[in-house]
């Protein structure tokens, strides 16, 4: 009987997408054990590669939509439809991601999530009854106001005049009233894959933690915080929902809160949602080894990251796990001493970070081949 090896890695950031990591590992497995049965399940926790991970291996098909980009320009956004055609998969970053904004033009007071709402509507038009949306990698801090405008919500200022479309984060401070669409949205179930658990406001909130990396100056950060607080007040007053402290409500510049308030969404840990969608548990009963990993294995790995979730679920089935990393120097003791887990750096000691990244695919393949060869001795 051939060995069944499940390959379920996350991406190696700034280096390889999860699917590329899985392909390199697969080559290493087959070089060491040509008769192995290999199942590739590239992972994501809501950020880059979310759509690709879920539609890979024939599980769905790629689709595109022309939507509004973060600065109001038209962009081509990729999304997916899972077989048999009733569950859509969306990455907010396809419509409003940081990579779509040149560094010199990054300004979360201006950037908008309007295109995210357009993607939700595109999925609805294609017949989706459920939508899974990953919210990592945003260029925005608009609380989802732009997304809501695309869905048909109207936002009024103190004079009762409608706030211009599409709105960015700088408009939140002006919101005094919210008017829902006149017709039911009919979006179906919306599940949000959050890769963070930050609340909407406060020291761990959307503005104070993430706005700087999206181009905000210190005075802008405080203005965005004040605007988000006013926006949350309007949501509670007009829609009857308190979204301030929900874990994950601060994700993607407050889009987590906006999706709850305006699309009836449910916020979920991203890695767990993806594992469920990929049906990992259904394959673990046959597996003799699971191989996972990400670029840097450190304390954050324990905070719901994909490799840790893969390990936890594998342990319930008694399946050993090999966890690979480009950098494991800061791996915590909880990982180093975890039962049934082997940590392994893909590069030999002394290899520079630049060389590790340039040769990541080759190093992954070699590391797996060597590990399996050692295990067979």
Residue 238: φ, ψ to 5°: -95, -25
Q: What is the pLDDT of residues 75-117, one digit of tens each?
A: 999 999 998 889 999 999 999 999 999 999 999 999 999 999 9
To 10 degrees, the CA torsion angle through 185, 187, 189, 194? -100
Are residues 106 and 79 in contact, defined by beta-carbon separation less than 8 angstroms?
A: no
Q: Which of 56-60, 76-80, 202-206, 294-298 has the lowest mean pLDDT?
A: 56-60
Q: Which of 125-129, 153-157, 257-261, 373-377 has the lowest mean pLDDT?
A: 373-377
In sign, the C-alpha dihedral spanning 298, 300, 306, 310 is positive
Residues forming beta bridges with residue 193, ordered by sequence position: 134, 268
Residue 32: what pLDDT?
96
pLDDT band at 377 (very low <50, low <70, confident <90, very high): very low
Q: What is the pLDDT of residues 241-270, one digit of tens each?
A: 999 999 999 999 999 999 999 999 999 988
The answer to pTM > 0.85 is yes
Residue 12: φ, ψ to 5°: -100, 100
Q: CA nearest 98: which of 252, 260, 277?
A: 252
To 10 degrees, the CA torsion angle through 293, 297, 303, 307? 10
* Mean pLDDT, rounded, for 293-301: 91
Q: CA nearest 194: which of 111, 139, 145, 254?
A: 254
**CB-count exposure of residue 226 (10 Å: 0-12, 13-18, 19+):** middle
> Which domains, ranges and CATH numbers included, belong to the chain?
4-38+280-376 (3.40.50.10350), 50-271 (3.90.1510.10)
Non-local (6+) Cβ contacts of 177 within 8 A are 155, 156, 160, 234, 238
Q: Which of 148-162, 164-178, 216-230, 276-290 has the lowest mean pLDDT?
A: 276-290
* Mean pLDDT, rounded, for 59-80: 97
pLDDT at 120 over 90: yes
- Peptide bond before 84: cis, by omega within 30 degrees of 0? yes
């Amino acid at each position: 009987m051939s060995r069944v090896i499940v390959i379920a890695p996350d991406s190696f950031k700034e280096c390889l997408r999860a699917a590329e990591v899985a392909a390199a590992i697969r080559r290493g497995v087959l070089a060491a054990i040509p008769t192995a049965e290999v199942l590739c399940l590239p992972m994501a926790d809501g950020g880059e590669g979310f759509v690709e991970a879920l539609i890979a291996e024939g599980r769905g098909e790629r689709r595109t939509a022309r939507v509004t980009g973060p600065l109001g320009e038209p962009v081509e956004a990729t999304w997916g439809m899972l077989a048999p055609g009733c569950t859509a998969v969306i990455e907010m970053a396809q419509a409003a991601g940081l990579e779509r904004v040149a560094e010199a033009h990054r300004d979360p007071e201006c950037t908008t999530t309007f295109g995210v709402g357009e993607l939700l509507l595109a999925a609805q038009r294609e017949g989706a009854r459920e939508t899974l949306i990953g919210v990592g990698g945003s260029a925005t801090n608009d609380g989802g106001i732009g997304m809501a405008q695309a869905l048909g919500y109207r936002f009024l200022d103190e004079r009762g005049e409608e706030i211009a479309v599409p709105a960015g984060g700088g408009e939140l401070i002006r919101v005094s009233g919210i008017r829902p669409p006149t017709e039911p949205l009919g979006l179906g179930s919306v599940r949000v894959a959050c890769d963070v658990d930050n609340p909407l406001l406060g020291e761990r909130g959307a503005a104070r933690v993430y706005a700087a990396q999206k181009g905000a100056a210190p005075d802008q950060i405080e203005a965005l915080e004040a605007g988000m607080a006013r926006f949350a007040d309007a949501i509670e007053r007009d829609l009857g929902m308190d979204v301030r402290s929900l874990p994950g409500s601060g994700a993607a510049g407050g889009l987590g809160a906006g999706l709850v308030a305006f699309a009836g969404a449910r916020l979920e840990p991203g890695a767990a949602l993806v594992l469920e969608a990929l049906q990992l548990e259904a394959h673990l009963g046959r597996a003799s080894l699971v191989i996972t990993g990400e670029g840097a294995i450190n304390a954050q790995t324990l905070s719901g990251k994909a490799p840790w979730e893969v390990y936890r679920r594998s342990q319930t089935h008694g399946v050993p796990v090999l966890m690979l990393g480009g950098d494991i120097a800061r791996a915590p003791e909880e990982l180093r001493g975890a039962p049934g887990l082997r940590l392994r750096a893909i590069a030999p000691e002394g290899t520079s970070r630049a060389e590790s990244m340039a040769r990541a695919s080759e190093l992954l393949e070699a590391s797996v081949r060597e590990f399996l060869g050692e295990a067979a001795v």
